[in-house]
């Protein structure tokens, strides 16, 4: 039986056609995140993009990500922490019975303030399966980074950091945008200067202004300011988290995980890295739980 | 002799006609900050806005703020810390001899990263004159807040915090903008919740996301989220500064200084507050130094 695995995000979506063993037969991606879909338009868009994959009898589609949010196809309630892949698999909701189902996201709570993720939990379950891990601190960099603690195969807690979104806001819309070239390639020295500066106890609200004044005083070339700002932000994120040697797993694109590895090196830490392909392994494992539940009931 | 005192900022300018004793005879403000002035257009715009005030023989105009920056009328070099009003007064530059002069801003340096202000130093000298102070920690909230240490009448050091700009970016351009009403009036309880939350050791990159999830989980009404975010930011700013009882002076609009007073109350601190009218007293004092220097030479 074929599994159609989809990660439907806010601004884009990715899909893969998997065989019964979870091997990828074909991949597709489209700039059709949930924010581009008109109300009531999810079913028609799904048929347009993946109808051919669904044609063989018995094909089943499992979707993770923002498709299960309030602004998505059908809202699917979050699984609270602690939950493992069995609890999340048991909470999968079929939105077209026997054909299409959505994975719930996860929620956590700290001092009365909720935290949420949708899609990252699938990447983590996939990464655990691929790497044979059942414990660790998983970090997923992106627009809204997730720091996720896993113990004995279950997600016990997590926090979101708006690091990627702050970078976009500051580099494109703030006073820093006047002197900073957001497209410049990574300059490792400037990046590490930012990481170090982030630890000076003065906080991001102050340190970010340095990316302006270093340019004003010609103390840093325009081409290095973006790397410095990126270092300030990632350094600020790392500053607040206690990292124990050996248990860190980074999941994301090489361009992003490389920066975290550089920043971690300063404090003598390192991490395993995994690509976002973990999504397909995670959806395959969750689909197996869901379909075996159905077979039993 | 009349003094024309002008605070020429980035997005707006304010001017006052002062008599020989520094009393305000008339005030004007225009939405003509330096960013609205075409290259080479400062002199003509000045004549248009203030030509009538300059007509009496002997009228002298002193300008503070961004008019002395690289993007301004004429660039006037910063006075480094430590400097008092005498050093700053001595560094005033006449750009139209005998008629119009510009006050330098001030610069500081921390671990190789410069900091700058233009205009706030004038407000501080004015506040010191009005309130009879020669020591203290002066805080000037705004787009780019300044925390300025004054000892024996001299500015010994300062730091900038982009608190106001971060608030604008997050409330108008980030994911928080989807649920937050930036125009809602101050809700003191939500504001103080934000101030308290800022001290949880997790940093702004994480805490800001709470202004999203509190709305997602209906734990805070939309009308209170802006106050919560404002509290997170001001709390983050206060968290990094060591404040000693009794030496804090807030200079700014009542709407802003009120928020700092509320946040300070949590830690049992208080502050004196002064309005932005301190600008005129500062320009009057600096003009006196400059004109007496000229009379002597």
Q: Does A144 sit within 8 Å of B205, measured CB to CB?
A: no
In whole angstroms, give the CA distance from residue B105 to residue A133. 57
Question: Is A98 inside any structural domain?
Answer: yes
In whole angstroms, give the CA distance from residue A263 to residue A191. 8
| A16 shares a domain with A122 | yes
| B72 shares a domain with B53 | yes
Confidence at A244, pLDDT banded by 50, 70, 90? confident
Which residues partner with B80 through β-bridges? B107
In whole angstroms, give the CA distance from residue A36 to residue A13. 11
Q: How does the average pLDDT of chain B come out, rounded?
A: 95
CA of B191 to nearest chain A CA: how many angstroms apart? Answer: 15
**Amino acid B11: pLDDT:** 87
**Amino acid B276: pLDDT:** 67
Question: Is B145 inside any structural domain?
Answer: no
In whole angstroms, give the CA distance from residue B117 to residue A217. 13
| B118 shares a domain with B15 | yes
Q: Which residue of A has its CA nearest to B196?
A: A111
CB proximity list for B97: less than 8 A, separation 6 or greater = none
CB A149, CB A157: distance < 8 Å: yes
pLDDT at A192 over 80: yes
Q: Which two tokens stand for residue A201?
A: 């106890």
Residues of B whose CB is below 8 A from A225? none
CA of B98 to nearest chain A CA: how many angstroms apart? Answer: 30
**Amino acid B1: pLDDT:** 79
Question: Is B286 inside any structural domain?
Answer: yes
CB proximity list for B234: less than 8 A, separation 6 or greater = B163, B194, B195, B198, B259, B260, B263
**Amino acid A267: pLDDT:** 86
Under an 8 Å CB criterion, which residues of B touch A? 70, 110-116, 144, 159-163, 165-166, 169-170, 173-175, 197, 200-206, 208-210, 213-214, 216-217, 219, 233, 236-237, 239-240
* Angle (CA) A18 A34 A27, round 5°: 25
Q: Stretch A24-43: mean pLDDT, rounded?
A: 95
Confidence at A138, pLDDT banded by 50, 70, 90? very high
| A127 shares a domain with A7 | yes
CA of B159 to nearest chain A CA: how many angstroms apart? Answer: 7
Question: Is B153 inside any structural domain?
Answer: no
Higher-pLDDT residue of A181, A243: A181
DSSP structural state of residue A96: E
Question: Is A36 inside any structural domain?
Answer: yes
Q: Stretch A16-35: mean pLDDT, rounded?
A: 95
CA of A9 to nearest chain B CA: how many angstroms apart? Answer: 14
| A14 shares a domain with A126 | yes
Domain carrying residue B23: 3-132+279-296
pLDDT at A148 over 90: yes
Q: Does B203 sit within 8 Å of A237, measured CB to CB?
A: yes
Cβ contacts from A onto B, under 8 A: 125
Residues of A whose CB is below 8 A from B116? 213, 216
Q: Which two tokens stand for residue A142?
A: 């992106």
Q: How does the average pLDDT of chain A come out, rounded?
A: 95
In whole angstroms, give the CA distance from residue A143 to residue A137. 19
Helix (H, G, I), strand (E, B) or coil at B147: strand
Between the two ends of chain B, the Cα-to-Cα distance in Å is 20
Residues of B whose CB is below 8 A from A214? 113-114
Q: Does A205 sit within 8 Å of B203, measured CB to CB?
A: no
Q: Does A203 sit within 8 Å of B111, measured CB to CB?
A: no
Q: Does A202 sit within 8 Å of B159, measured CB to CB?
A: yes
| B197 shares a domain with B109 | no
CA of B94 to nearest chain A CA: how many angstroms apart? Answer: 23
Question: Is A75 inside any structural domain?
Answer: yes
Confidence at B275, pLDDT banded by 50, 70, 90? confident
Q: Which residue of A has its CA nearest to B10?
A: A175
Say which CATH number the domain at B86 has. Answer: 3.30.420.300
Which residues partner with B14 through β-bridges? B7, B29
What ipTM was reported for this prediction? 0.94
How many helices and strands in chain B, by DSSP H and E? 9, 15
Q: Stretch B154-171: mean pLDDT, rounded?
A: 97
Question: Is B43 inside any structural domain?
Answer: yes
Q: How buried is residue B94: exposed, middle or buried, by Cβ count under 10 Å (0-12/13-18/19+)?
A: middle
Instruction: Write the Ramachandran bin of B230: left for phi over 0, alpha for psi from -120 to 50, otherwise beta.
Output: alpha
E strand or H helix that includes residue B224: helix B222-239
CB proximity list for B197: less than 8 A, separation 6 or greater = A111, A113, B207, B210, B228, B231, B232, B235
Q: Does A173 sit within 8 Å of B206, measured CB to CB?
A: no
**How do beta strands A136-140 and A145-151 pair?**
antiparallel
Instruction: Write the Ramachandran bin of A20: left for phi over 0, alpha for psi from -120 to 50, otherwise beta.
Output: alpha
Q: How buried is residue B218: exposed, middle or buried, by Cβ count under 10 Å (0-12/13-18/19+)?
A: exposed
In whole angstroms, give the CA distance from residue A204 to residue A17. 43
Collect contacts of B32-35 with beta carbons under 8 A, ≥24 apart. B33/B8, B33/B9, B33/B66, B34/B8, B34/B9, B34/B10, B34/B66, B34/B67, B34/B69, B34/B71, B34/B72, B34/B73, B35/B10, B35/B11, B35/B71
| A170 shares a domain with A102 | no
Q: How many domains does chain B have?
A: 2
Percent of chain A with pLDDT over 90: 88
| B268 shares a domain with B203 | yes
**Amino acid A53: pLDDT:** 97
Read off the pLDDT of residues B188-205 as tens digits, 9 standing for 90 and up. Answer: 999 999 999 999 999 999
Q: Stretch A124-150: mean pLDDT, rounded?
A: 94
Percent of chain A with pLDDT over 70: 99
Helix (H, G, I), strand (E, B) or coil at A40: coil
In whole angstroms, give the CA distance from residue A226 to residue A191. 8
| A105 shares a domain with A63 | yes
CB B158, CB B124: distance < 8 Å: no
Question: Is A227 inside any structural domain?
Answer: yes
Under an 8 Å CB criterion, which residues of A touch B? 70, 110-116, 144, 159-163, 165-166, 169-170, 173-175, 197, 200-206, 208-210, 213-214, 216-217, 219, 233, 236-237, 239-240
| A251 shares a domain with A198 | yes
Read off the pLDDT of residues A42-65 as tens digits, 9 standing for 90 and up. Answer: 999 999 999 999 999 889 999 999
Q: Does B239 sit within 8 Å of A203, measured CB to CB?
A: yes
CB proximity list for B104: less than 8 A, separation 6 or greater = B68, B76, B77, B78, B79, B88, B91, B92, B93
**Amino acid A245: pLDDT:** 63
In whole angstroms, give the CA distance from residue A81 to residue A114. 11
In whole angstroms, give the CA distance from residue A191 to residue A177. 17
Q: Which residue of A has its CA nearest to B241?
A: A202
- Which has the minimum average pLDDT: A183-197, A236-250, B79-93, B283-297? A236-250
Say which CATH number the domain at A198 has. Answer: 3.30.420.310
Read off the pLDDT of residues A193-230 as tens digits, 9 standing for 90 and up. Answer: 999 999 999 999 999 999 999 999 999 999 999 999 99
CB proximity list for A84: less than 8 A, separation 6 or greater = A125, A152, A153, A154, A155
In whole angstroms, give the CA distance from residue B285 to residue B175. 46
Other CB atoms within a 10 A radius of the CB of residue B76 amount to 21
Angle between the N-to-C axes of helices B278-296 and B120-131, in degrees from 0 to 180, rounded to the nearest 10: 90
In whole angstroms, give the CA distance from residue A148 to residue A160. 9
| A261 shares a domain with A173 | yes
| B290 shares a domain with B269 | no
**Amino acid B245: pLDDT:** 63
In whole angstroms, give the CA distance from residue B98 to residue B81. 28
């Amino acid at each position: 039986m074929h599994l159609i695995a989809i990660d439907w995000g806010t601004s884009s979506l990715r899909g893969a056609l998997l065989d019964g063993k979870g091997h990828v037969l074909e991949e597709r991606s489209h700039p059709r995140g949930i924010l581009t879909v008109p109300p009531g338009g999810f079913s028609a868009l799904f048929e347009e993009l993946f109808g051919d994959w669904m044609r063989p009898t018995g094909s089943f589609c499992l979707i993770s990500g923002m498709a299960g949010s309030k602004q998505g196809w059908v809202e699917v309630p979050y699984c609270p922490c602690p939950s493992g892949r069995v609890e999340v698999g048991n909470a999968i909701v079929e939105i077209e019975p026997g054909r299409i189902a959505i994975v719930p996201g996860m929620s956590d709570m700290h001092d009365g303030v909720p935290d949420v993720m949708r899609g990252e939990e699938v990447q983590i379950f996939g990464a655990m399966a691929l790497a044979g891990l059942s414990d660790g601190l998983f970090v997923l960099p992106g627009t809204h980074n997730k720091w996720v603690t896993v113990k004995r195969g279950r997600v016990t807690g997590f926090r979101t950091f708006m690091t990627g979104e702050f970078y976009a806001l500051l580099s494109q819309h703030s006073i820093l945008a006047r002197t900073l070239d957001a497209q410049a390639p990574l300059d490792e020295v400037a990046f590490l200067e930012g990481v170090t500066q982030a630890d000076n106890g003065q906080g991001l609200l102050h340190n970010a202004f340095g990316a302006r004044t270093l340019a004003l005083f010609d103390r840093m070339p325009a081409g290095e300011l973006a790397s410095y700002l990126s270092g300030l932000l990632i350094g600020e994120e790392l500053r607040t988290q206690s990292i124990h040697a050996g248990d860190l797993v980074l999941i994301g694109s090489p361009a992003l995980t490389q920066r975290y590895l550089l920043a971690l090196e300063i404090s003598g830490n390192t991490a395993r890295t995994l690509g976002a392909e973990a999504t397909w392994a995670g959806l395959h494992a969750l689909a197996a739980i869901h379909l075996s539940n159905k077979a039993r009931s």
